Amino acid sequence: MVDTLTEDTRLIHTPIRTLPQHIGIIMDGNGRWARSRGLPRHAGHRAGVENLRRIIRAVAETGIPHLSIYAFSTENWKRPRGEVKRLIALIDRSLRRELPELHQEGVQLRHLGSLDGLPRSTQRNVRKAIELTRDNRNLILNIAFNYGGRAELANAIRQILQEGVPVHSISETLVERHLYTSGQPHPDLIIRTAGEKRLSNFLLWQSAGAMLYATRAYWPDFDEDKLHRALTYYAGSTRE
């Protein structure tokens, strides 16, 4: 589904009868948002990070218990070195800045992906955030940081082989227990901004049955009204 309503359209936030239990968001379009305003790409990334806090709060207020965000993919390493360095530093700073408030609001942070290759200070900050918020229950926020769906599956297979599991004992349930999202429900809804209709290596296994909702809005412009629109579409398309 592609959202074709104009950016000026505003919805009256009526209650939604059927909410997803897990939303995944592919935050796309920061660079194009900046270019459309004559700004450098890093300005778009900053605007995207600022918007993320607003959307996390909006999701938490709906009562949806699980949110996964695609913050930095394994493919992002192919970008210009300077852009990658600034993007990682921006994510790191934002995590440190927002952590106290997220913790106070009962958000539990989890990391999807590999910490290998990230700066040591970033690795420490991620581990600190996970440990600090581990008992929070209002919202589980999965941050896919240095994450790739195919790499996740390869990692799961390696773990199963290292455990010496017999071939005949390998099942879908066993694979799922070795995924980064083990113990969590699969996403019901994947939202992608900036008009693309691809998963781009995001939660490939977990999204097999998810609804994909694509909006033309760039990520910095994806606000509470557009989130509500996506949830309304999901509710209207879900069989009861």
Could you give the percent of the chain with pLDDT greater than 70? 92
| 79 in Cβ contact with 198 (< 8 Å) | no
Mean pLDDT calculated for residue range 205-218: 97
The H-or-E segment that residue 66 falls in is: strand 66-73
Q: What's the rounded mean pLDDT across residues 194-200? A: 95
> Mind listing the domains of the chain with CATH numbers?
2-237 (3.40.1180.10)
pLDDT (tens digit per residue) in 106-136: 999 999 999 999 999 999 999 999 999 999 9
Three-state secondary-structure class, residue 75: helix
* Distance between CA atoms of residues 113 and 128, nearest Å: 16
- State mean pLDDT over 18-32: 97
The predicted pLDDT at position 14 comes to 62
Whether 225 is a known active-site residue: answer no
CA distance 126 to 16: 34
Q: Does 76 qualify as catalytic in the annotation?
A: yes
Adjacent-strand bridge partners of 144:
70, 112
Task: Note the pTM of the prediction, 2 decimals.
Answer: 0.91
Q: Would you state the pLDDT for residue 16?
A: 79
Q: Which of 28, 51, 125, 146 is catalytic?
A: 28
For residues 50-89, b (16+ Cβ closer than 10 Å) or e, as one string?
Answer: ebbeebbebbbebebbbbbbbbbbbebeeeeeeeeebbbe
Instruction: Write the pLDDT tens digit of every residue in 218-235.
Output: 999 999 999 999 999 999
Rounded mean pLDDT of the chain? Answer: 92
Spot the catalytic one: 8, 51, 76, 188.
Answer: 76
- Whether 8 has a pLDDT exceeding 60, the answer reads no
pLDDT of residue 9: 43
